[in-house]
Amino acid sequence: MSNNLQPIAGHDFALPAHTVLCLHGADAMAFAQAQFMNDVGRLTDGQWQWNGWLTPKGRLIALFALLRLDPETLWLLLLPGTDAATLAQALQRYVLRRKVTIAPQSLPVSARFSAPQDARDATLAQIGDGVIELDMSGDGGPRRLLIGATGLCDAQAEAAWARADMTHGLPWLSEAQAGQWTPQQLSLQRLNAFSVKKGCYPGQEIVARTHFLGQSKRGLVLLETDSPIAVGAPVQAAGETIGQIIATAAPLALAVLPHDAPLALHSADGHPLQRRALAAGLVRG
């Protein structure tokens, strides 16, 4: 791949598009278990998992890292494209009489292309005065992410981080893409990001039916292009549209395509789109 990820930054750099949402209260765990698509009950204090919130029709609204800090506190580390205040307002409609508060946090997020200091896999670490460290390492190399620590403004390093997320199949869903795709269409089983065995949650019936009947005919594909391509752009084969670009980090893009899509792909303006293998190693929780 022409953009092989290199540890270009030997310092902590800012990730300003990542935001944090806090759920706190005696019913925070019960609320999260009832609303989110993964099994929150599997987490113990100091662990995290990939998780998400779906529409009643089983389409992904937001993908996030869900951190359990203590029995009454969860943090949602939101991927770029999801607005914390908007998501908090949407979730608030379902609180009803539960004892839980939902509030965005004014916390900086930073990262470094190096092995974590103390965090390992699904176990987070508190490494300073309120600083949380996550292990974001995978087949693409070591990565650490810090919540509550500032980093330098480094556009090159930030772009490399985005490419690494694309390589691992982490879709940064824009507002236009939110609510369009099922977890299976986004291949989120690769991240162990949803459960088909826990109790009910919005969209659970559709997710479980798709899983057990094997009806998902589309999945996430990593592409590389030598020309700019926009989110929402069609992916074509032999002049026919067969899928759509859902996230980009030039020269990479993620697309939802049929599982039996041909190898020869191109954009609507005829530029070739080269398939690349998704990296593994980001399963957590």
pLDDT digits (tens, 9 = 90+) for 150-161: 999 999 999 999
Neighbours of 17 (CB within 10 A): 15
Q: Map residue 199 onto helix, strand or coil.
A: coil
Q: Map residue 191 onto helix, strand or coil.
A: helix
Q: How far is the C-alpha of 36 from the C-alpha of 44, rounded, in Å? A: 16
**pLDDT over 50 (residue 1):** no
Mean pLDDT confidence for 133-148 = 96
Give 274's pLDDT tier (boundaries 50, 70, 90).
very high
Q: How far is the C-alpha of 221 from the C-alpha of 186, rounded, in Å? A: 9
Supply the pLDDT for residue 173. Answer: 95
Q: Which of 110-114, 117-121, 195-199 comes out lowest in average pLDDT?
A: 195-199
User: Per-residue pLDDT tens for 53-103?
Assistant: 999 999 999 999 999 999 999 999 999 999 999 999 999 999 999 999 999
Please state the pTM of the whole predicted model.
Answer: 0.95
Give the chain's mean pLDDT.
Answer: 94
CB distance 190 to 170 below 8 Å: no
**pLDDT over 70 (residue 167):** yes
CB distance 203 to 54 below 8 Å: yes
Number of residues assigned to the chain: 285
Q: How far is the C-alpha of 194 from the C-alpha of 15, rounded, in Å? A: 25
CB distance 37 to 192 below 8 Å: no
Give 5's pLDDT tier (boundaries 50, 70, 90).
very low
Supply the pLDDT for residue 2. Answer: 41
Supply the pLDDT for residue 236. Answer: 98
Supply the pLDDT for residue 9. Answer: 60
Supply the pLDDT for residue 225. Answer: 96
